[in-house]
Amino acid sequence: GEDVEQSLFLSVREGDSSVINCTYTDSSSTYLYWYKQEPGAGLQLLTYIFSNMDMKQDQRLTVLLNKKDKHLSLRIADTQTGDSAIYFCAESPGGATNKLIFGTGTLLAVQP
Amino acid sequence: GAVVSQHPSRVICKSGTSVKIECRSLDFQATTMFWYRQFPKQSLMLMATSNEGSKATYEQGVEKDKFLINHASLTLSTLTVTSAHPEDSSFYICSASDRGTEAFFGQGTRLTVV
């Protein structure tokens, strides 16, 4: 089956770095995504990485991709209280861009 | 980025009635739209892929007669929850693609069936 796994909860102090991990299953996924969801709201795309890359940096966000282990991570530098949310990784199975299989979600709690 | 508008954002309906949720791409044409469902504190599950001018493709376990999808134009897809029951209460989110890298998500619809 298609199971994208994430740890359920992460707590960090403001100013520290946060690392959220994700394990996906479909090696043919062309793109891998990170989304942020605040309470009661829709999804906000944070960043994505193409499967032939192993790292992508976008301001405070760094995505690392280990294709061999099917492991994806999102690092948030200098985490702020406004970063508190649920973070979902998602894969595009079979390379079908835009049809997404989401991870279980990680609740990030940032302590002041 | 592109804008996808979903309406209504919240709806409460009585058990046994039907509810229609609209998903519109405001500034681009979307040949394909996706409908997801999210249970409280859980992930998003893909329900169906909506193709303009043709029948939707449903994921395994999703009742097509229960969740009617219509994609009549390149900017509008609708999801109708028929004969709603309390177990249909959920957060429903659509996304639309302009065939680029990114799928753009609507704001979601909180459905409560009483």
Which runs of consecutive H residues, i.e. helices, occur in chain B? none
Residue burial B76-109, b: 16+ Cβ < 10 Å; e: rest: bbbbebeebeeebbbbbbbbbbbeeebbbbbbbb
Residue of A110, A25, A107, A100 lying closest to A60 (CA atoms): A110
Tell me, what amino acid is at B110? Answer: R
Residues 38-97 of A with CB under 8 A from B: 40-45, 48, 88, 97
User: Beta partners for A108?
Assistant: A10, A85
Which chain A residue shows the shortest CA-CA distance from B97? A98
Q: Are the C-beta atoms of A48 and A61 separated by less than 8 Å?
A: no
Tens-digit pLDDT profile for residues B49-106: 988 888 899 999 999 999 999 988 889 999 999 999 999 999 999 999 877 767 889 9
pLDDT of residue A89: 95
> Residue A2: is its pLDDT beyond 90?
no
Q: Are the C-beta atoms of A95 and A30 separated by less than 8 Å?
A: yes
Most confident option among A84-93, B6-15, B97-106: B6-15
The average pLDDT across A37-43 equals 85
Answer yes or no: do B93 and A97 touch at CB < 8 A: no
A4 Cβ contact list (under 8 Å, min separation 6)? A22, A23, A24, A25, A89, A90, A91, A101, A102, A103, A104
Which chain A residue shows the shortest CA-CA distance from B4? A42
Instruction: Using the structure block, give the residue that is written with the tokens 């997404």.
Output: A100
Least confident of A31-40, A103-112, B13-22: A31-40
B29 Cβ contact list (under 8 Å, min separation 6)? B74, B75, B98
The count of CB pairs under 8 A between chains A and B is 54
Instruction: Using the structure block, give the residue that is written with the tokens 């970063």.
Output: A83
